[in-house]
Amino acid sequence: MGKKMGKKRQKIVLPPELPPEIPDEAVEVSDEDVQFVSENQEYTGFMSNLDTKTINKQVTRVADVKEDELESLYERRLKKKALDKETEKQGLEVDPVDALPVKTLDGKLHYRTVPKATQKSENEDKDEDNTNNKDAGTDASVVKRTKAEKRAQLKKMRKEAKKHSKEVAAVEDVEQIPHAEVLDEVRKDMTAEEANEKKKFRLAELGTALLTDPELNIKSLKEMLEISKDGDRDIVVLALKSLLAVFRDIIPGYRIRLPTEKEQEMKVSKAVKKMRFYESTLLSAYKAYIQKLIAIEKQDVYKRVAVRCICTLLEAVPHFNLRENLLAAVIRNISSEDDISRKLCCATVKSLFINEGKHGGEATVEAVQMIADLAKAHDCQLHPDSIEVFMSLTFDEDLGKHEAQDASSKFKSKNAKRKNLKEQKVLAANERKRTRKEMMSKTLEEVTAELKAASLATDVTERRRMQTDVLSAVFETYFRVLKHALKPRSEAGSSPELAGSHPLLTPCLNGIGKFCQLIDLDFMSDLMNFLRKLARSGNDSDGSSKDVSACLTVSERLQCCIVAFRVMRNNLDALNVDLQDFFIQLYNLIIEYRPGRDNGEILAEALKIMLCDDRQHDMQRAAAFIKRLATFSLYSGSAEAMAALVTLKHLLQKNVKCRNLLENDAGGGSVSGAIAKYQPYATDPNLSGALASVLWELNLLSKHYHPAVSTLASNISMLSTSDNQIHLSNKSPQQAFKELSLEQESFSVKVDPKNSNAKRGKGNASLKHNSMGPDLDLTVQVDENAVKSKLSEHYSLLHDIAENERLRRELAETTLSLNLHEQYKKQRKRRTK
């Protein structure tokens, strides 16, 4: 304050109003004046009120008094100017506390000055809008409010500012007292709401200041943290978000390591000191912030905000200190019931997995291990999303090769060395000297080469180690899920409604399918065992396994089969293993499949992988599958039927012997093997004796209401036993299924009204079918009229037939009675004769 006074005094001395110092006696009062006074006595009233003492004082020290007066005058007049300057300065370096009350004086003024100041100092913000945005952005940058909201907020702020600008006017007189005190007083006067407004502005200021020059303003982080401890919810949220924005920008691209005591004792240059101070402040503030976030995350009110902040931080700066805490919080929420926070967490973890370069892969290891622990702790009752994130993991399969190469090269170099040594011994003594130089240079080269190799190798081994960790954690989780799915219901958990469900099984199976080429061969047998048990789990034929989680759906069991085949396919090219058990399961699952309930695409995939892609089949098994697929396509929807028929055709084309099924004469004898009769209820395809039967289903199918199915069926029945050409169908069951299931929505049953008699039965069948599938209701409505007319025709015909029969019966009765009457007459005549 003193400094400012000095400034003002210097200015004040200059003005010309200063009256000259004249002795009292020298003052001459003119006659006119005396007269005026005497005439206007009333005007002189003020003379009596005059404080003579002060006047005397004034008389003695005129200049001083004048200066005092002037000062207050100036104070008032120049206030704006001075404060303007202050704010400008504050934008640059001054502790911002002083600037605060100015803004409360006049809200509008504040709004113009702050952006200006930032504009001047930053030179980055392009236009005012931008700065405004940024201003608001520090409070709300992350929220991404809509413009309308923002505008409303601004309006509110302005109104309030105006309101208390009046109030502050009253306090204006006290302005001479230091700003901080004024601030305190004003604060006391203000209502809580206004205080909140102030805090918002403060946040904005601090935020921009920090972003402008983080090194200078690093201390204001603490103030922002203070604000975030406020009781008001909005303020806390804003504070957290502005802190997030700040941290995201100022956190360096390296991990901060606090200096040890030894290092602190050492003498360092000023710059280093400054840097250390900056880093330690930043780190402590960051720590406090994260602790706050983690603490607040447990409260329901703040949960989403906290989770959002944590996720954004983790995504932006996964390399920085305290990552573990952030990660733990994220993983904790990865299966939360709240959709938004769960999605956020999942996205964060996925981005961690994908952008491994940001953190060198360590975060991936930690995250995966944490998820594994989470699954363990919750007994696999998590949301599927939490396991699904594993799908975005990537593994570099070339790592092993690099290492192997290095090892071999190392080995070679060692060998070379040994050889050198041997040669050295062999060399004659006189030659030694000459060769020593060569040897030196050679060894030097070798050493450098080895060094290089070693450094590279450590890097690779490190990465390899991390990958191994990740993989083992991932598979640990997968195996846990599989094991859990195998558990009987009674053991599965305390809550009964959760016990039966296996939410994680589907993503787990998907994951195994994706990473199966990475499974250790030692695990393979266990994995296959699990899959076999799971696939078998719903099978009633096995008494022991019936109670073992019979709740697995057909789709899930089909998926087990698919995964098993994938695993085998990807790993074991060397040995062709026949997965008999899974074929048995598929054979039974085809029957259990229900079009509405189960996923047809999975079935199509299973058919493709298990039946179409596999190279060889037993004749018996192939025949059994052919028979079963034909049966299946009789009672399923057109899309499923199509997929089944495509598979059937494929099988028939590959297994020439099975074409016996197409012959009209039931086989049997030596061809059909031990089982002389087809047994439709056999659970094992090998024991069904399907070769002894005939594919009569194809004949029915060729009258299928769907033209594609009927043409394919008649095509298949044309395949002759002698025709040995192999023209494999280019369509896979999956494609066929997809095409038809898409088409199904638009497909309507075309009925030819002309030959309605011939098609009647079929029309009825299709009607029944349509009413089964809810997605086909549309087509039913479309055809309603046609169907109505058909039905009426049908019933009238039935009625006619009934009528006809009745009439015939009557006719027969009358003829009979007539005959009787005749006979009676004849007998009578005879008697009379």
Partner 1 sequence: MRPLDEQETTQVFEKLHKFVGNNLKNIVENPSHEGPDNSPGRYCFRLQKNRVYYVSESLVKRATNIKRDNLVSLGTQLGKFTKGGKFHLTVQSLGLLAENAKHKVWLKPTSEMSFLYGNNVLKGGVGRITESISEHDGVVVYSMSDVPLGFGVAAKSTQDCRKMDPNGIVVLHQADIGEYLRMEDDL
- Rounded to a whole number of angstroms, the minimum distance from the CB of residue 522 to partner 1 is 8
- Rounded to a whole number of angstroms, the minimum distance from the CB of residue 679 to partner 1 is 11
CA distances from 68 to 13, 22, 57, 61, 312 (A): 11, 20, 13, 11, 58
Please say which residue, 439 or 524, places its beta carbon nearer to partner 1.
524
* Residue 540 structure tokens: 């009633």
Q: Which residues contact 421 (CB under 8 A, 6 or more apart)?
A: none
- Rounded to a whole number of angstroms, the minimum distance from the CB of residue 715 to partner 1 is 27
- Rounded to a whole number of angstroms, the minimum distance from the CB of residue 722 to partner 1 is 19
Closest by CA position to 750, among listed 737, 761, 759, 738: 759
What does the DSSP 8-state code read for residue 305?
Answer: H
Q: Which amino acid is at 109?
A: L
Please say which residue, 476 or 581, places its beta carbon nearer to partner 1.
581
Half-sphere exposure of 645 (CA within 13 A, CB side): 31
CA distances from 322 to 198, 296, 309, 319, 832 (A): 32, 17, 14, 9, 132
Cα distance between residue 698 and residue 714, in whole Å: 7
- Rounded to a whole number of angstroms, the minimum distance from the CB of residue 659 to partner 1 is 16
CB 252 within 8 A of CB 316: no
- Rounded to a whole number of angstroms, the minimum distance from the CB of residue 528 to partner 1 is 7
Please say which residue, 554 or 658, places its beta carbon nearer to partner 1.
658
* Residue 634 structure tokens: 């009789």
Please say which residue, 190 or 651, places its beta carbon nearer to partner 1.
651
- Rounded to a whole number of angstroms, the minimum distance from the CB of residue 567 to partner 1 is 11
Please say which residue, 335 or 620, places its beta carbon nearer to partner 1.
620
Residue 817: how many other CB atoms lie within 10 Å: 10
Q: Which residues contact 575 (CB under 8 A, 6 or more apart)?
A: none
Interface positions with partner 1 (CB under 8 A): 521, 524-525, 528-529, 532, 568, 572, 574-581, 616, 618-619, 673-674, 676, 684, 687
Q: Which residue is it, tokens 């929220």? A: 143
- Rounded to a whole number of angstroms, the minimum distance from the CB of residue 435 to partner 1 is 45
What does the DSSP 8-state code read for residue 18?
Answer: P
Please say which residue, 426 or 521, places its beta carbon nearer to partner 1.
521
* Residue 7 structure tokens: 């400034």
CB 752 within 8 A of CB 722: no
- Rounded to a whole number of angstroms, the minimum distance from the CB of residue 675 to partner 1 is 8
Q: Which residues contact 654 (CB under 8 A, 6 or more apart)?
A: 617, 622, 726, 728
Radius of gyration of the chain (CA): 47
Please say which residue, 423 or 578, places its beta carbon nearer to partner 1.
578
Please say which residue, 140 or 568, places its beta carbon nearer to partner 1.
568
Q: How far does CA 59 lie from the centroid of its chain?
A: 84
Residue 134: how many other CB atoms lie within 10 Å: 20
- Rounded to a whole number of angstroms, the minimum distance from the CB of residue 605 to partner 1 is 20
Please say which residue, 222 or 657, places its beta carbon nearer to partner 1.
657
Cα distance between residue 452 and residue 461, in whole Å: 14
Please say which residue, 568 or 611, places its beta carbon nearer to partner 1.
568
- Rounded to a whole number of angstroms, the minimum distance from the CB of residue 677 to partner 1 is 10
Cα distance between residue 380 and residue 378, in whole Å: 5
Please say which residue, 235 or 568, places its beta carbon nearer to partner 1.
568
Q: Which DSSP string corresponds to 41-99? A: GGGGHHHHH--HHHHHHHHHTHHHHHHHHHHHHHHHHHHHHHHHHHHHHHHHTS-GGGG
Please say which residue, 286 or 678, places its beta carbon nearer to partner 1.
678
- Rounded to a whole number of angstroms, the minimum distance from the CB of residue 518 to partner 1 is 16
